[in-house]
Structure formats: C-alpha cells, structure tokens
Amino acid sequence: MSVFDTLRIAASGLTAQRLRMDVAASNIANAGSTRGPAGAPYAPERVVFAAAPVGGSPTPGVAAVALPALDRTVRVYDPNHPDADPNGFVAYPDVDVAAEIADLIGAARSYSLNATVTAAAKQTALDALEIGR
C-alpha cells in the first residue's frame, strides 16, 4: 500500500464523516418540522457506510450514502396546531435529538482521526523525499 492509497482512504473517510455530520445536523434542525415540501412531516435520514474502491484504484475506501429512515412519525395531540388532522393529532418526525447529537460527536471524532491519518501520511511522504536527497 502506497502513501497515496493511504491518502485516498483517509480522504474517503473525511468525505463520509462530513456527510454523516451534515445528515445529523439536518435531522436535528428539522426535528420539529411538521410539514415538508410534499406536505408530509420531515423524513429523517440515516447514513449507510460501505467499502468501495477509491479513485478508480482497487484500494478499498469508504462510501457513504444518506438514505431516508423508515417512515416513522410521532403523533401528538394538539388540536390548535395548524397541521393537526381532523382528530387533533399532529405528526412530528421521529428524531431522537440526543442520539443525533451523539452521532454528530462520533462523526466529528472520526473526521478528526481521518485528518490525523492524512497529516501522518503527508509527513511520511515528506520524510521519504528528504531521505532521497
């Protein structure tokens, strides 16, 4: 495995964790959204990771895809809410804010670790060039 493979893998990890942070932030921001563009409550997303070739090379990396979670809503009785159904219930997205914050923290730590790997690979490449002088 070359230094460039290490950089590709770490870069794919950085991209995947950034997507994970974006999705968690979006879920937190829309936790109370009762109506989206289609008129339904916001559908929270989840990030799915898979190993995939990176940059056209056979070296495995990380591919991340944001997928909508199962259509789960929490119904709350609030007959005065403008989005209440005829029975007085309002459908809110089933977003666990504490779990999303924990996921956000985990993604930030993973991002930081991938950045550390990138810096170490860069330093290794620079040291190899210095030895070659």
pLDDT over threshold 90, residue 129: no
- Which residues face 68 on adjacent strands? 45
Report the C-alpha gap between 94 and 24 in whole angstroms: 13
80 burial class (0-12, 13-18, 19+ CB within 10 angstroms)? exposed
pLDDT over threshold 70, residue 1: no
The whole-number pLDDT of residue 86 equals 92
What's the total number of domains in the chain? 1
Mean pLDDT of 14-18: 91
Residue 2 has a CB neighbour count (10 Å cut-off) of 11
Does the pTM exceed 0.85? no
pLDDT over threshold 70, residue 54: no
Q: Please, are residues 12 and 62 in contact by the beta-carbon 8 Å criterion?
A: yes
**Domain range spanning residue 125?**
3-131
Q: Please, are residues 65 and 23 in contact by the beta-carbon 8 Å criterion?
A: no
The whole-number pLDDT of residue 118 equals 93
* Tens digit of each residue's pLDDT (9 = 90 or more) over 56-74: 667 677 777 778 776 678 8
Report the C-alpha gap between 38 and 76 in whole angstroms: 20
